Amino acid sequence: MEDIKEKKREIREDMAKKLKAFSEGELIEKTRGIEKRLFEFANFLESKVVLLYMHANGEVVTNNIIKRCFEANKILVLPAFDIIKHTMQLMRVDNLDSDLKPGLRGVLEPDPECCKTMPVDCIDIAIIPGIALDEKGGRIGSGEGYYDRLIPKLSITTRKVALALESQIIKQVPVEPHDKHVDIVITEDRIIYKI
């Protein structure tokens, strides 16, 4: 187990170096390619309630995707994290300017004072963050396990989709028993369906 944890740590470091090697313009162009594929993806187009994330280091930037969800009249759900209990609460966000506040993880989160909790069984499509992924849906996240605990709670009909740069796709993600896979990975070059 410790070998797997160490391997994941090395992969996270490697991905951070790969991402730093891109210019800001290259990252913007690659992210636009991912957005284009996502907004042409039938499961996304048909969804009404979308779980997204506010990106942290190493994750695909989601700001424009979130804005476009509002423009498409989708119901936007974002996670609020409890770093002491290692849990997250899914909350509906209606206004990016007034509904978000800085979270303890260093990213904006829904403010429980003005956002309502959203039941997990209402989510049509879940956009799951990842730092490294493989073609079988294996993913390495931040290492805190939030999404590994969430994925089994999602309905079997909820599509679990990860966004990644093509350079974040590796041959095989080392997995531990608690690690959960996504159904689909969208990069700037392709849509990968879990085999």
DSSP labels for 47-77? Answer: -SEEE-----TTS---HHHHHHHHHTTPEEE
Q: Which structural domain range is residue 18 located in?
A: 2-193
Q: How many domains does the chain have?
A: 1
Entry pTM: 0.93
Predicted pLDDT at 51? 98
Looking at residue 46, which CATH number applies to its domain?
Answer: 3.40.50.10420
CA distance 38 to 127: 10
Predicted pLDDT at 165? 96
Q: Quote the tokens at residue 84.
A: 């002491």
Query: For residue range 36-88, what is the model confidence (pLDDT) as tens digits?
Result: 999 999 999 999 999 999 988 889 999 999 999 999 999 999 999 988 888 89
Predicted pLDDT at 80? 94
Comparing C-alpha atoms, which of 2, 10, 12 is closest to residue 140? 12
Q: Quote the tokens at residue 29.
A: 């162009």
CA distance 158 to 137: 15
Q: CB–CB of 115/177 below 8 Å?
A: no
Ranges of residues in the chain whose predicted pLDDT is under 50: none
Predicted pLDDT at 1? 58
